[in-house]
């Protein structure tokens, strides 16, 4: 089955700096790659996603890039703010996969004011 690895497991940045979280996946048939943000004590929520027919997608301060050849995708957060502090999960999915989403192990991002 699919295996998703996520790095780093923890990331500390200064407010205003950029943060990058990277994920690799194993199944070349995967075609959908969402990112979820989980604030402390809350449920995970979708923040951005990308499909395999697109190389990059941006939404204000967050962007995701996908390299299908290398089977990796990354989340980029620019101008980080304290409210960006959370655990971020990447995931991968493919069409007709009953188990839908395979998640990475998560990255705890801490933005220091």
Partner 1 sequence: EAQVTQNPRYLITVTGKKLTVTCSQNMNHEYMSWYRQDPGLGLRQIYYSMNVEVTDKGDVPEGYKVSRKEKRNFPLILESPSPNQTSLYFCASKQGGNTGELFFGEGSRLTVL
Give the nearest distance from C-beta 112 to partner 1 in angstroms.
Answer: 22
- Would you tell me how many other CB atoms lie within 10 Å of the CB of residue 23? 26
103, 89 contact by CB (below 8 A): yes
Q: Which is nearer to partner 1, 92 or 111 (CB)?
A: 92
Cβ closest to partner 1, residue 78 vs residue 108: 108
For the chain, the residue count is 113
Decide: is 1 part of the binding site for partner 1 (CB under 8 A). yes
| Member of 64, 66, 101, 109 binding partner 1 (CB under 8 A) | 101
Site for partner 1 contains 54 (CB under 8 A): no
Binding mask 81-100 for partner 1 (x = CB under 8 A): --------x---xxxxxxxx
Interatomic CA distance for residues 89 and 33, integer angstroms: 10
**Token pair for residue 40?**
């402390």
Taking the C-alpha atoms of residue 80 and residue 61, their distance in angstroms, rounded to an integer, is 8
49 binds partner 1 (CB under 8 A): yes
Question: Rounded to whole angstroms, how far apart are CA atoms 73 and 10?
Answer: 17
What does the binding site for partner 1 look like in residue numbers (CB under 8 A)?
Answer: 1, 6, 9, 31-32, 34, 36, 42-46, 49, 51, 89, 93-106
């Amino acid at each position: 089955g699919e295996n998703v690895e996520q790095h780093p497991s923890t990331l500390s940045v200064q407010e205003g700096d950029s943060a990058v979280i990277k994920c690799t996946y194993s199944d070349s048939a995967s075609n959908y790659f969402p990112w979820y943000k989980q604030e402390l004590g809350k449920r995970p929520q979708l923040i951005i996603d990308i499909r395999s027919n697109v190389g990059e997608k941006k939404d204000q301060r967050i962007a995701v890039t996908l390299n299908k050849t290398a089977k990796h995708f990354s989340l980029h957060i620019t101008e980080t703010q304290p409210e960006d502090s959370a655990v971020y999960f990447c995931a991968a999915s493919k069409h007709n996969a009953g188990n839908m989403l395979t998640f990475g192990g998560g990255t705890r991002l801490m933005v220091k004011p």
